[in-house]
Amino acid sequence: MIETGLKNKVVIVTGAASGIGKATAERFAEEGCRVVCWDVKTGEALEGGIFQAVDVTNATSIETALTEVVTLLGTPYVLVNNAGILRDGQLVKYKEGVVTGVLSDEQFDAVIAVNLKGVFACTRAVAKHMIASGGGVILNASSVVGLYGNFGQTNYIAAKSGVIGMTKVWARELGRYKVRVNAVAPGYIATEMIQSVPEKIRQNMAEHTPLGRLGTPADIANAYVWLASDGASFITGAVLSVDGGLVTGT
C-alpha cells in the first residue's frame, strides 16, 4: 500500500451513517486515521474514533461536537463535507395548459440548508482549528450535475454548484495557512438510494456511463483519501469528477 501520510490523523466525515459517507469513514479508518462520524441518524463509532449526533445546519450542534473532538482526539486534519439530501421537483410542472405543481420553498430551503449552508457552517468551524494547528484538508461533496445540470433538481444543483464556488474561494483564502480545499463531483453511484430505483432506470444510468457501470461508494471514498494524502499535496481549488466518464458519454 502506498504511504498516504494520514496515519493517526483526525478526520471528520459528515453524513457518515450510510452510503458514501460511511464508506469514506471506513476507508480513512483503514489508513489508521482516528475518524469522527457526524450524522443526524444513528450510527456507530469506528475503532479509534467516535460517533456524534450532529445537525450540520445548526452552528451550535457543530461547535459543541467539535469541542468534544478536540478534547478527546485532537485537532481535525481532514474534514469531509459529505452530508446531503434530495428534495427533487420541477421548477414548474405544466400539463395540458394547467400548472400542476411547482418546486416549493420547503423543498428549496431544505436542500440549501444541508447541502450548501451545512458545508459552510462545518468548514467555518473546523477551519479555525486547522489554521491554528498549521494546516489541514477540506474536501467538499459536489456532484457531476452541479457542473452540467439535471432535470428536476434546481435546488440540488444550486447547492452543488455553490459548493464548487465556495471550494475555489476557500482554496484562495486558506492556502496561506497550509489548508488545502478541494471538491469531488460523483456521477451515478450505487448507494442505497440508487438501489431502490427500478432496475430499468439503473441500467439506463449504467448505459450512459462510458465505463459501463455505476460507481460504488468505495470509488468516491478512494478519491477523498487520495486528495487528503501527501500525494495530492500540491492540489487545491480543484474539482475531481469521479463519474466513469458520464459527461463525455451523454
Catalytic residues: 156
Q: Which residues pair with 21 in a beta bridge?
A: none
Q: How far apart are CA 75 and CA 35, in angstroms?
A: 12
- Is the separation of the CB atoms in 243 and 209 below 8 Å? yes
- Report how far apart, in Å, the C-alpha atoms of 209 and of each of 6, 153, 161, 204, 247 are: 32, 20, 21, 9, 8
What H or E segment, with its residue span, contains residue 148?
helix 144-148
Q: How far apart are CA 244 and CA 250, in angstroms?
A: 12
What single-letter DSSP state applies at residue 153? B
Amino acid at 78: V
What 3 state SS string does 202-216 have? Answer: HHHHHHCCCCCCCEC
What beta strand segments (E) does the chain contain?
10-14, 34-39, 50-53, 78-81, 92-95, 98-102, 136-141, 179-186, 239-242
**CA nearest 206: which of 156, 245, 241?**
245
Q: How far apart are CA 126 and CA 39, in angstroms?
A: 16
